[in-house]
Structure 1
Amino acid sequence: MSTVTDDATSEPSAALVNQHPKKGRGSFVHRLYTGEAGFDFIGRRRIFYVISLLLVVGSIALIGFKGMNFGIDFAGGNTFEVPAAASDQNQATAVVQKGLDKANASLGAGAEPAQIASTQVVGSGSGTSILVKTSVVQPATATAIADDLASTFRPEIEKRLTAAGTPITDQAVRAQVSSQAIDATWGGDVSRKAVWALVVFLVAVSVFLRFRYRSQLVIGALTALLHDLVVTAGLYALVGFEVTPATVIGMLTILGFSLYDTVVVFDKVDENTRPLLAGSRMTYSEAANLAVNQTLMRSVNTSVISLLPVAALLFVGAGILGVGTLKDLALVLLVGMAAGAYSSIFLAAPIAADLTERRPEYVELTRKVAARRARGATRKAGKPSRKSGARAKSRADAAESATPSADVLDEPDGAAGPGDAVAQEPEQGRARRAGGTPRPGAKPQRDRKKR
């Protein structure tokens, strides 16, 4: 006795493997990628333009009115470094401030008094020292401050000299205190080199993007880069952190991060929009918006993973551990990376879409898409399409030809007319079919002999 196996019941998983997920189901990331869920970044681009414009204008206002806190590397000044523990930072600051007060007391009217720019801990363990930066002071004042620091921290200096096996003398103790004067021209050289590096970077990026993408995407990417620079500088002016060479390095670093995030988005935009002109199903803005949503989670994940170590560097290293040399670099990286993630999603792609849709071929594409959707909406409202109308008309003609006319039905009995054949045809046809005669138009059947 044979048994019949039902494939649908024996292998239920095979049918589920080939099923496409229903609309509205699946993970949020999947629905973002397929366009079933998402945010209309391109459609609401004017809102983001206003937000970005406010950020840029506010940043420029902060830079212009409040100014940047340039360190002595740019403005010129003096540095004093003394071997001491991290807990002695306040004491070292007090010694330097006392020396500056003496020098300021002898200044004439209208002269700008010298002041402390920053104090920070350098090094760790037995090599810890206190670094104090001041504005420009006279050489005699700098020598007097260095002598006071050597005298105040002499026990700690002698302890370290003994550990190193160095004979203890007044000259050896004094040599452990470093005093340097930095000219403002050095900061000017650094600034010029930084500007040249920025110009070369922007030119190289423009050439690369132009070979890879359309010119409209290049404009969007460069606008996002400039936005990130201005916003980062504005927040730096708001916080009042000292601008150092580390800050300049951080500025150039965030440009690379912002460009990377923008290229990730633009790759998907280019992939989605390349075949658009061959059809009329989607506008450029819709395809670009789909691309932004498809790369949204990747951009968010990349930004979060990148910001976590930078935030730890700023809040733990500079805030908790007191390593002041890290805060300049950490702050500019934190702000710049966050601004880069924002601009690549909310600014670069909308600007590129806005400029591209002004081209004649994409204006025509938008018109075709609107016309196609208008036809579809009309059909849904009840108007038959051309094919369905033709089929309905043919069915009506066939029904009309098969129905006897009123003249034939009103003829007297015995009168012959064409309607007789029409009226009798159905019963004759049924009789023939009942007798084994095939109906008209049917395929011939072969006579099969019974074995």
Structure 2
Amino acid sequence: MKVHFSLIKRSKWFFLLSGLITVTGLVVFLISGFNLGTDFVSGSRIQLQINQTVNNAEVRDLFNKAGITIEQQAITSAGTGAREAAIVRLTTRLTPAQQNKILSLEKQMYPKSSSASFSVVDPIVAKQTSRQAIWAILLASAFIIAYIAIRFEYRFAIAGVVAVLHDAFIVLATFSLLRLQVDLPFVAAVLTIVGYSINDTIVIFDRIRENMKATPPNSREELQELVDKSLWQTMSRSINTVVAVLVAAVMLYFFGGTALHNFTFALIVGLVSGAYSSIFIASPLWVAWRSRQFRTAAPVKTS
């Protein structure tokens, strides 16, 4: 593909944009923190298989009769029509007596319902889950560094992981800003984004490596031109791939039920961020690092 304009020479603007996003995200974290689900904090998750359309007001009334006050945001739905269920998340642990009361009220208010299911998480389990989620992301990043360092070089590896962490950070900042719930499906979405982003980045890195073998650059300017050429050669592939996956994610968001909203929304944000970072962050960062050898290399003596 023809090089329409230099992306590498404009990299400072891309770095500035990402820097602003990072600072904004940090401010959001400090002010708001995360809206953690019951997977990461002690609490209860109740699924009422009512087998009819969920009415949030009726569900709240059921819990009020059981002596439990819940908010509108605590109720989501799953399934459709005759198989629809109401999912309620609480920050408190339900006692056996409260669970029995909910089961009794469910049968009275929803004759077609199946028995409700309860998932109660205590503080110790929540802490272990949080620790395991962090380790999962860290280990994934470590294996990515090792793989790219072996297949390419360590500078490619570091640049690729910075881009991946950039994507994960944007998703985290978005969820913190919008007060969306962070739970285990969210962690699964982040790991999916990590895999997609690094795959897209490796495709670009592979093209850069091929072009370097064909015409090794002898100056910083030649290196920039080579990477610009590589980026434009893979641009259509990157855009087409992300558009195809985005269409599937958007369809899943609108037609997959509210229980999948947070998961698919995280995917949508991460896919867009992943496409951006692969093109505008990872490769320019590698160029900035790799081009130092041309400034520090000793001049070649001629006779």
- How would you bin the TM-score normalised by the shorter chain? 0.7 to 0.9
Distance between the aligned counterparts of 2:15 and 2:219, measured in 1? Answer: 28
CA contact (8 A) 1:89 1:121 kept: no
CA contact (8 A) 2:217 2:226 kept: no
Structure 1 equivalent of residue 29 of structure 2: 63
After superposition, where does 1:14-33 map in structure 2 within 5 Å?
Answer: 33=1
Give the RMSD, CA atoms, in angstroms: 2.6
Query: How much has 1:342 moved relative to structure 2?
Result: 0.2
Query: Is 2:45 aligned against 1:88?
Result: no
Task: Give the fraction of aligned pairs with identical amino acids, expressed as a percent.
Answer: 26
Q: 1:50 aligns with which of 5, 12, 16?
A: 16
Letter in 2 for 1:51: L
Query: How much has 1:142 moved relative to structure 2?
Result: 4.4
Distance between the aligned counterparts of 1:147 and 1:279, measured in 2? Answer: 78
Letter in 2 for 1:118: A
Query: Is 2:5 aligned against 1:39?
Result: yes
Structure 1 equivalent of residue 108 of structure 2: 151
Query: How much has 1:235 moved relative to structure 2?
Result: 0.6
Distance between the aligned counterparts of 2:247 and 2:31, measured in 1? Answer: 32
Q: 2:137 aligns with which of 193, 198, 217?
A: 198
Query: How much has 1:278 moved relative to structure 2?
Result: 7.2
Query: Is 2:238 aligned against 1:299?
Result: yes
Whose relative contact order is higher, 1 or 2, with alpha carbons under 8 Å and at least 6 apart? 2
Query: How much has 1:279 moved relative to structure 2?
Result: 6.0
CA distance 1:91–1:297, change in 2 (3 Å): same
CA distance 1:278–1:297, change in 2 (3 Å): closer
Structure 1 stretches of 5 or more lacking a match?
1-32, 105-113, 161-175, 318-322, 369-451
CA distance 1:184–1:39, change in 2 (3 Å): farther
Q: 1:118 aligns with which of 64, 71, 74?
A: 74
Distance between the aligned counterparts of 2:288 and 2:129, measured in 1? Answer: 38
SS of the aligned residue for 1:186 comes to: helix
CA contact (8 A) 1:117 1:135 kept: no
SS of the aligned residue for 1:73 comes to: coil
Distance between the aligned counterparts of 2:123 and 2:223, measured in 1? Answer: 52
Distance between the aligned counterparts of 2:132 and 2:155, measured in 1? Answer: 30
Deviations 1:40-70 (A, max 9, x none): 1100111111001111111222222112111
After superposition, where does 1:38-437 map in structure 2 within 5 Å?
Answer: 38-84=4-50, 85-99=52-66, 102=67, 118-137=74-93, 139=95, 140-153=97-110, 155-157=111-113, 176-277=115-216, 283-317=222-256, 323-360=257-294
SS of the aligned residue for 1:75 comes to: coil
Larger Rg computed on CA atoms: 1
Distance between the aligned counterparts of 1:225 and 1:47, measured in 2? Answer: 19
SS of the aligned residue for 2:8 comes to: coil
Deviations 1:163-204 (A, max 9, x none): xxxxxxxxxxxxx23344322332322222222222221221
CA contact (8 A) 1:221 1:348 kept: yes
Query: How much has 1:78 moved relative to structure 2?
Result: 2.1
Distance between the aligned counterparts of 2:13 and 2:242, measured in 1? Answer: 23
Query: How much has 1:219 moved relative to structure 2?
Result: 1.8
Distance between the aligned counterparts of 1:279 and 1:52, measured in 2? Answer: 30
Distance between the aligned counterparts of 2:142 and 2:193, measured in 1? Answer: 17
Query: How much has 1:290 moved relative to structure 2?
Result: 1.2
Letter in 1 for 2:6: D
CA contact (8 A) 1:78 1:137 kept: yes
CA contact (8 A) 2:54 2:77 kept: no
SS of the aligned residue for 2:55 comes to: helix
Distance between the aligned counterparts of 1:142 and 1:151, measured in 2? Answer: 14
CA distance 1:190–1:184, change in 2 (3 Å): same
CA distance 1:356–1:335, change in 2 (3 Å): same
TM-score, length basis structure 1: 0.61
Letter in 2 for 1:331: F
Query: How much has 1:253 moved relative to structure 2?
Result: 0.6
CA distance 1:278–1:324, change in 2 (3 Å): closer
Query: How much has 1:210 moved relative to structure 2?
Result: 1.0
- The number of residue pairs the alignment matches comes to 298
Letter in 1 for 2:241: T
CA contact (8 A) 1:276 1:283 kept: no
Distance between the aligned counterparts of 1:232 and 1:280, measured in 2? Answer: 37
TM-score, length basis structure 2: 0.88
CA contact (8 A) 1:276 1:284 kept: no
